Amino acid sequence: MQRRNISAGAVHGGGSGQQVPGGDRLRRRAPVVNATLIGGALLAFGSVGAQLLSLGLTPRTHMSMAVSEPVATSFSRPDIIDRNGRLLATDVEAPSLFADPAIVIDRDEVVEKLVTVLPDLDQSDLRAALSDKARRFVWIRRGLSPKVAQRIHNLGLPGVSFRKELRRAYPAGALAGHLLGSVNVDNKGTAGIEKYIDDVIGVDAVNSATLSTRAPVRLSLDVGVQHALEDELDTAVRRYKSEGAAGLVLDIKTGEIVASASLPRIDPARPTAAIDAAHAEKISGGTYELGSVFKTLTVAMALDEGLATPATVLDVREPLQAGRHTISDLHSAGRPLTVAEVFTHSSNVGAGMLALQAGPDRTRAFLQKLGLLDAAKTEAGIAAQPQLPERWERAELITVSYGHGIAVSPLQFAAATASILNGGVSITPTVLKYQAGTNAKATRLVTRETSAAMARLFRLNVMDADGTGKRADVPGYRVGGKTGTAELAENGRYDKKAVLSSFVAAFPMDDPHYLTFVLLFEPKGSVETGGQRTASTNAAPVTARLIGRIASQLGVAPMSVVATQ
């Protein structure tokens, strides 16, 4: 039998049994080709490995996301500090939760598990969003606490992840919450000083947790004084069972608001409570008929217009008639009173007589000059518009003279009173730290003589045994002030059972520097007050306790200390 020699280089399936030309060359080249392929593969894998190693070792400052997402929807904000540099507001990094619907495996599982951590989640909306696979980015919850974020992380949900954003934090909690204002979910200011920062100072749009490099915003507030004010108002609400309270501490020389509070307070980190009318800001955001504290302005007008002196005698024994209305004094002295006694006895009849003597034109012009007929404004926002009489006739003149028939914001009234007591020049209330030259355009509102006379009357009202402000005295600090008790109006009628009691004070009266204004809304009578709801029994002693706490913080030394220096 003939044997066939089939070479390794034969073509399979060929039946001729012949050798393939060049077979030896193919055998010689095969190892070379294999080596080249293996070397190329090793080189490729080495390059990929090196790149992965490089990426793994390179620090990542933020996550780059290959999905469609909002860009520059957050804002970095400057810090807010008090006048002494203590921190009131700052930005911090916080995790925000999002999902990529395209890689969510089981939307129902995602929703059901997230609700165990975020029970208020809108399940139907989230399911609908996760069902749209064309979307690559869906916000679920922004600004989570680290603890909540960790619980969600532990759920291990595919397609659900976090990114760091800036959130506003308030180290002092609810302290000065109304004044500081609030920000929205994008860290953009919506109220108070926070909104002022956006509108005037500026914020920076960012799409990552990038802290601001802007200088801190320094306020005129003093954290210590603010705390004392809020604490005393808290105590007053409990002690006199008030529905609310408000207070203000003002530097009458510079216009700086050193403290401002409204109770119930709000937490700037949770501003939704501000929607409730009971939590509304009262110092500048509300207008009220303030009652007899308004006699401060009436007496100052009479003195400044030359209509009377503190020694001028008025016969206040008979009530005043205004149409069908009769105006009388709550506690009649039964004798004529000097203008000084009209102030210290808080005589409605005497104040009405002074206003009638001035007449409507001079009364309106004086109030206009003091800024009480237009809305005031600070960096924290525009104050409420005053409510003025439709007519300025006999009845209106009399009631306005003792703080009824006209409603203004407490801030407006405080600024007007400060201008009367500071030597007679205008001030512009501010919540920013005073800068030299801010009041360069100050104008004279009353004479120095009128200012000095009113300061003496303030002090007399606290020192005199018959003065309505005697419970506001603080030994050593030369306090002066005026009471106000006004019936609150509801549905066009005055409610004799509901009053707003207030006390405006200044100290030290030999050189007035600071003004305080305390307001209690609907206080109740108690054993301590002898069943009374008048300001002399509640707002005045609250003022005394407040000044006793803050005077030293403000650098006012008691008279006994001054005398030994």
Catalytic residue positions? 292
CA separation for the pair 169, 266 (Å, rounded): 14
Residue that the structure tokens 């916080």 belong to:
94
Cα dist from 351 to 9, 133, 338, 466, whole Å: 128, 75, 11, 18
Per DSSP (E only), the strands in 242-301 are 244-251, 257-263
8 Å CB contact between 162 and 98:
yes
Asked whether the beta carbons of 300 and 372 are under 8 A apart, the reply is no
Kindly report the three-state secondary structure assignment for every residue of 16-34.
Answer: CCCCCCCHHHHHHHHHHHH
Tokens at residue 218, please?
Answer: 């320094």
Q: Which residues contact 313 (CB under 8 A, 6 or more apart)?
A: 336, 337, 338
3-class secondary structure per residue, 144-197:
CCHHHHHHHHCCCCCCEEEEEEEEEECCCCCCCHHHHCEECCCCCEEEHHHHHH
- 309: Cβ contacts below 8 Å, ≥ 6 apart: 303, 339
**Are residues 380 and 198 in contact, defined by beta-carbon separation less than 8 angstroms?**
no
Looking at residue 487, its amino acid is E
522: helix, strand or coil: coil
Angle between helices 295-304 and 348-369 (to 10 degrees): 70
**Which residue is listed with tokens 């045994």?**
465
Name residue 366's beta-bridge partners: none
CA 214 to the chain's CA centroid? 20
The C-alpha R_g of the chain, in whole angstroms, comes to: 38
Q: Are 516 and 249 in contact (CB under 8 A)?
A: yes
Neighbouring-strand partners of residue 382: 377
Name the strand (E) or helix (H) holding 88. strand 87-99
Size of the chain in residues = 565
Q: H or E stretch including 123?
A: helix 123-131
Token pair for residue 487? 């019936």
Q: What share of the chain is helix, strand, coil (3-state, %, to 5)?
A: 35, 20, 45
| Contact by Cβ (8 Å): 100, 137 | yes
HSE value, Cβ hemisphere, 13 Å, CA-based, for 272: 2
Place of tokens 């509640």: 538
And the tokens for 205? Answer: 């749009």
Residue found under tokens 């679920």: 140
Closest CA to 95 of 2, 209, 251, 225: 209
Q: Which helix or strand (DSSP H or E) is residue 202 part of?
A: none
Site of tokens 């909002």: 70
